[in-house]
C-alpha cells in the first residue's frame, strides 16, 4: 500500500488533468483551474515548512558555532522584515502600501541587492565567453565568428564597418539560431510527453522506492 | 438597471444596420458558461461598445461599458441558459447606434473540444509508439540508444568528489514541483543521491521552492535506503533558501564558495542566474554537469560547464540511467515520434507552398 496509494494519486491526478484538457463539459471543465487552486493552497502550507527549514537550519549552525555571523544576519534580517511586514499590514492595511516600512526595506535593500547580483552577470559573461571562444576546434571558431557578427550587428559601429552587418546578424538570429532552438523545443515537447506517460503508467517513480 | 430607450425611425434603421454586423453566438468548445459577441470593430467607425444582457427581452441590463476590440466574451453564464443582448455602439463622432434585441442565444456545454483534435491524434500516435516499443523491449529486442556523455560522467563526478573528500552540491533550478524539468531533475537526483550514498559523499541541496524541498528530501531518503545506507542520510542538507531569484543565486554562490564542492549538478529550469552559478562553480574548480530545457540558458551552460544535457537529454536521463529495457523502449518511441514530426513538417510545408492544405489549422490549440 505504501507504493500503490502514492502511485494511484499521481496517475489519477494526471488522468483527470488530461481529461480536463479535452472535455470542457462539467465536471471536467474547470478541473484544471481547481487543481491549480489546490496546488496554491498546498504551496502556501509548504512555504511554512520551508521557512521552518531555513530558520531551523541556521539556528543549528549558530549552536554548532559554524558561520555564526552569516546565520545570525539571516535570522535577524528575517525577523526585522517579518515584524515590519506585520506592522505595515496593521498600520496601512497592506504590507505593499507605497509608504510602508516593509516597502522601504524592499525598495532600498532588496531591489539594490538583486540589481547587484544581476550586474555580476556582465563579468561572468565575459569570462565564460573568453573560455568558450578560445579557438581550439572548428565548432569554437564558428561560435566565435557568429558571436562577433551578432555583437557587431547590434551596435552602430557594426553598420559603420559594413552596411550589411545588422542584416547578417539578424539572419543568424532568425534562421540558424531559431531553427536550432525549435529543434531543441520539439525534442523537449516530445520528452515531456514521454516523461509524463512514464509517470502516468508508473514506469518511472522517482519518489518511490 | 439601465433602461434601453427606443429611438425614432432613424434610430431603428441604424439599429438594423448595426445588427447585421454584430454576431452573438454560444462560444464553441467551451463548458457552456460563455457567449461570444463579435463586434464590427474592423469598420473603424466605432470608438467603443456598451453591452446589455438579460434573460428576457424586457430585463436587459448593462453588463459592460467601453468595450473595445473585435470580440467580447460574456463569461460566467449558466450552461443551457437562454440570453438576450442589445449592443450600443459609440461612434468616433460622438453619436450612438444600437442594435435590435438579439436572441435568445442558448449556451451549450460540449463534451469534446474539437480545436484540440490534432493534439489528441498526436498523443494517440505517440502513445501507440510507446506501447509498441515497450512491448518490443519486453520481448527481448535490443534497442540502440546513443551515448549521452553528460550522463555517463555522473559516476566520475561523484567519484571525484569522494576522492577529494568534498561534498556535492545539487541545484534543482527555480521552478516548482509542477514543472516537467523539475520532475526530471528529481529523477536525476535519485541516481546522484544513490551514488553519493555508495561513496559516502555529502549531498547538499539548496532549494528555491518548499514543495521541491520536501519532495527532494523523500527522493534522497529513498535513494539512501536503496543504497543500503539510511544511516548517513541527513535531511538538514536539503533545505529551503528563498524563492527570490537573485537571493537564491547569492545564497547558492555563498554555499559554493564556503563548501568548495567537488561536483556541482545544475539540473532543472534556469533563468538569468544560470551563468552566475555555473561560473562560480567553475571558479572553485568543481566538475559541473548541467542540464536544462531552457533554450535561452543552454548556451551559457555549454560555455561554462564541463557537461551539458541539452533539452530532451535531461528528460531522458532517468530512463537512460536505469538501463531498464522497458524505459529505454519509451526513449526509442520518442526518437521515432521525432522522425514522424520531421516527415510531417516537410509534408506540411510543401502542402502550404503548393496551396493544397494548411495543416497549422489542425495543430493550433485554442
Q: Tens digits of per-residue pLDDT, B119-148?
A: 888 888 888 888 888 888 888 877 788 888
Q: Is B20 exposed, middle or buried (0-12, 13-18, 19+ CB in 10 A)?
A: exposed
Per the structure, the complete domain to which residue B214 belongs is given by 149-322
The answer on B308 and B164 residing in a single domain is yes
d(CA B154, CA B317): 11
- Average of pLDDT values for B66-93? 89
The pLDDT value recorded for residue A18 is 86
On the question of pLDDT at B13 being above 60, the answer is no
pLDDT band at B16 (very low <50, low <70, confident <90, very high): low
Model confidence at B69, pLDDT cuts 50, 70, 90, reads confident
B204 in the same domain as B77: no
More confident residue, A150 or B44: A150
Yes or no, beta carbons of A194 and B130 under 8 Å apart: yes
Asked whether the predicted pLDDT for residue B37 surpasses 60, the reply is yes
Q: Residue B8: is its pLDDT beyond 60?
A: no
| CA–CA dist B75, B56 (Å, integer) | 18
| A127 vs B: CB within 8 A | yes
Q: What is the DSSP letter of B27?
A: P
Rounded to whole angstroms, how far apart are CA atoms B138 and A95? 59
Closest CA to A77 of A52, A110, A47: A110
In chain A, domain spans: 133-209
CATH classification of the domain holding B221 = 3.40.50
Q: Is A129 close to B176, i.e. CB distance below 8 A?
A: no
Domain shared by B178 and B92, yes or no: no
Please indicate whether, in this complex, the C-beta atoms of A129 and B112 are within 8 angstroms of each other.
no
State phi, psi for B336 to the nearest 5 degrees: -65, -35
**Domain annotation covers residue B3:** no
- A to B CB pairs, distance under 8 Å: 190
How far, CA to CA in Å, does B216 sit from each of A67, A75, B13, B232, B318?
25, 24, 69, 16, 15
pLDDT at A34: 85
Say if residue B104 is preceded by a cis peptide, omega within 30 of 0.
Answer: yes
- Quote the pTM value: 0.83
Q: Do both B87 and B207 map to the same domain? A: no
Counting residues of chain B whose pLDDT is more than 90, the rounded percentage is: 54
Say if B267 falls within a structural domain.
yes
- pLDDT for the residue B270: 95
Q: What is the mean pLDDT of residues B343-357?
A: 90
CA distance A180 to A171: 13
Q: How confident is the model at residue A8 (pLDDT cuts 50, 70, 90)?
A: confident
Nearest chain A alpha carbon to B306: A132
pLDDT exceeds cutoff 50 at A79: yes
Smallest Cβ–Cβ distance between B30 and the set A24, A110, A124 belongs to A24
Determine which helix (DSSP H) or strand (DSSP E) holds B51, and give its type and residue range: strand B46-54
Which of A27-41, A42-56, A110-124, B275-289 has the weakest average pLDDT?
A: A27-41
**B184 and B292 both lie in a single domain:** yes
| CB B317, CB B291: distance < 8 Å | yes
pLDDT of A194 above 90: no
The pLDDT-based confidence of B161 (bands split at 50, 70, 90) is very high
ipTM metric: 0.88
Q: What is residue A2's predicted lDDT score, i.e. its pLDDT?
A: 72
**Res. B232: pLDDT tops 80:** yes
The residues near B150 (Cβ < 8 Å, ≥ 6 apart) are B289, B290, B291, B307, B308, B309, B313
The reply to whether B259 and B179 lie within a common domain is yes
Query: In this structure, is residue B2 part of a structural domain?
Result: no
How many structural domains compose chain B? 3
Residue B316 lies in a domain: yes
Neighbours of B230 (CB within 10 A): 12
Residues of A whose CB is below 8 A from B332? none
Amino acid at each position: 500500500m505504501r507504493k500503490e496509494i502514492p502511485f494511484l494519486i499521481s496517475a489519477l491526478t494526471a488522468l483527470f488533468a488530461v481529461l480536463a484538457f479535452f472535455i470542457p463539459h462539467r465536471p471536467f471543465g474547470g478541473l484544471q483551474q481547481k487543481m491549480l487552486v489546490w496546488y496554491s493552497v498546498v504551496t502556501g502550507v509548504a512555504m511554512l515548512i520551508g521557512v521552518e527549514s531555513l530558520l531551523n537550519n541556521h539556528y543549528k549552525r549558530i549552536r554548532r558555532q559554524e558561520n555564526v555571523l552569516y546565520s545570525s544576519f539571516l535570522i535577524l534580517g528575517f525577523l526585522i522584515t517579518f515584524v515590519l511586514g506585520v506592522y505595515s499590514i496593521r498600520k496601512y492595511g497592506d504590507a505593499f502600501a507605497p509608504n510602508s516600512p516593509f516597502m522601504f526595506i524592499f525598495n532600498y535593500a532588496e531591489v539594490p541587492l538583486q540589481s547587484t547580483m544581476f550586474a555580476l552577470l556582465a563579468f561572468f559573461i565575459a569570462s565564460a565567453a573568453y573560455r568558450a571562444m578560445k579557438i581550439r576546434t572548428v565548432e569554437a571558431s564558428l561560435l566565435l565568428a557568429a558571436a562577433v557578427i551578432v555583437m557587431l550587428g547590434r551596435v552602430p559601429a557594426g553598420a559603420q564597418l559594413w552596411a550589411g552587418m545588422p542584416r547578417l546578424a539578424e539572419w543568424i538570429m532568425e534562421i540558424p539560431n531559431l531553427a536550432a532552438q525549435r529543434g531543441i523545443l520539439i525534442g523537449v515537447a516530445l520528452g515531456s510527453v514521454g516523461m509524463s506517460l512514464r509517470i502516468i503508467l508508473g514506469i518511472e517513480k522517482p519518489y518511490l522506492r | 438597471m439601465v433602461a434601453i430607450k427606443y429611438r425614432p425611425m432613424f434610430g431603428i434603421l441604424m439599429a438594423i444596420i448595426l445588427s447585421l454586423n454584430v454576431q452573438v453566438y454560444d462560444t464553441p468548445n467551451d463548458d457552456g458558461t460563455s457567449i461570444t459577441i463579435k463586434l464590427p470593430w474592423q469598420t473603424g467607425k466605432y470608438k467603443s461598445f456598451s453591452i446589455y444582457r438579460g434573460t428576457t427581452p424586457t430585463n436587459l441590463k448593462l453588463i459592460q461599458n467601453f468595450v473595445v476590440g473585435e470580440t467580447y466574451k460574456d463569461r460566467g453564464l449558466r450552461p443551457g441558459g437562454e440570453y438576450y443582448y442589445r449592443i450600443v455602439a459609440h461612434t468616433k463622432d460622438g453619436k450612438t447606434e444600437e442594435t435590435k434585441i438579439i436572441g435568445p442565444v442558448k449556451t451549450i456545454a460540449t463534451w469534446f473540444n474539437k480545436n484540440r483534435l490534432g493534439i489528441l491524434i498526436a498523443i494517440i500516435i505517440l502513445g501507440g509508439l510507446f506501447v509498441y516499443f515497450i512491448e518490443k523491449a519486453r520481448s527481448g529486442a535490443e534497442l540502440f540508444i546513443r551515448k549521452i556523455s553528460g550522463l555517463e560522467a555522473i559516476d566520475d563526478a561523484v567519484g571525484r568528489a569522494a576522492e577529494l573528500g568534498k561534498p556535492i552540491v545539487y541545484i534543482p533550478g527555480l521552478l516548482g514541483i509542477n514543472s516537467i524539468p523539475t520532475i526530471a531533475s528529481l529523477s536525476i537526483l535519485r541516481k546522484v543521491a544513490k551514488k553519493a550514498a555508495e561513496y559516502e559523499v555529502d549531498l547538499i541541496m539548496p532549494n528555491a521552492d518548499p514543495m521541491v524541498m520536501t519532495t527532494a528530501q523523500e527522493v534522497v531518503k529513498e535513494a539512501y535506503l536503496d543504497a543500503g545506507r539510511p544511516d548517513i542520510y541527513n535531511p538538514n542538507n536539503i533545505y529551503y533558501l528563498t524563492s527570490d531569484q537573485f537571493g537564491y543565486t547569492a545564497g547558492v554562490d555563498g554555499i559554493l564558495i564556503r563548501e568548495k564542492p567537488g561536483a556541482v549538478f545544475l539540473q532543472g529550469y534556469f533563468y538569468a542566474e544560470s551563468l552566475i552559478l555555473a561560473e562560480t562553480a567553475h571558479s572553485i574548480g568543481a566538475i559541473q554537469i548541467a542540464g536544462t530545457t531552457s533554450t535561452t540558458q543552454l548556451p551559457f551552460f555549454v560555455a561554462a560547464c564541463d557537461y551539458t544535457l541539452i533539452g530532451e537529454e535531461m528528460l531522458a536521463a532517468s530512463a537512460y540511467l536505469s538501463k531498464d529495457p522497458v524505459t529505454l523502449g519509451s526513449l526509442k518511441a520518442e526518437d521515432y515520434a521525432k522522425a514522424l514530426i520531421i516527415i510531417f513538417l516537410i509534408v506540411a510545408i510543401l502542402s502550404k507552398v503548393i496551396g493544397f492544405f494548411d495543416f497549422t489549422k489542425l495543430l493550433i490549440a485554442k
